[in-house]
Amino acid sequence: MSICFSTNVDDAQKVIDSRQCAAAILKAPPANAPQIPKGQVRIAFDGDAVLFSDASELVYKTPGLDAFQAQEDALQHTPMEEKPYASLLIKLAKLQERLPTGSKDSPIRIAIVTARNSPSEMRVINTLRAWGVYVDEAFFLGGVGKPKVLTAFNPHIFFDDQDVHLEAAANLVPSGKVPYLTRPNIGSGIASSVE
């Protein structure tokens, strides 16, 4: 598995459309970020459209929050489809199993930082269980901003798909934009990104 980092969103889009991991680093990492303990790698992921399929997010963006929450509650025992970053997460989790665990000093620390909240958090938890993935920290923020959580976790990199979250996060921690998979625009033959 490879990961493509670029400063160009179009380049990252081409890689995502080939179903591989890619992110566009749109801002230089902040110079004043707190130090991460030596010998430790910290990675934070958003959920929908980064680790998981964007199908649930499309429900949120079209019928709305109530429809999204009803669907996620009804499907809480149905694991979500993997996106390209799911492969990275699964490999990190398998590596983490071989390393000392149960401590804040573990060599690899993984966090999920998502806008989901009750009742939709159960689908995330059950999906991670189905994948055999353990994460060190999971934050279900329910629309609360991500900056304070990211500052406290202090990842080497944070992956998200939405500009609204990335603009604030990139000022505090290194952040990568994961473009949406391009979908054909039905009826026009024009490709469009869902966002």
Name the residues annotated as catalytic.
Answer: 46
CA atoms of 182 and 191, how far apart (whole Å) = 6
- Please, are residues 140 and 124 in contact by the beta-carbon 8 Å criterion? yes
Helical H runs in 98-161?
121-131, 147-153
- Please, are residues 118 and 51 in contact by the beta-carbon 8 Å criterion? no
Which pairing describes strands 182-185 and 190-193: parallel, antiparallel, or unpaired? Answer: antiparallel
DSSP state of 74: H
Count of residues making up the chain? 195
Residue type, 189: G
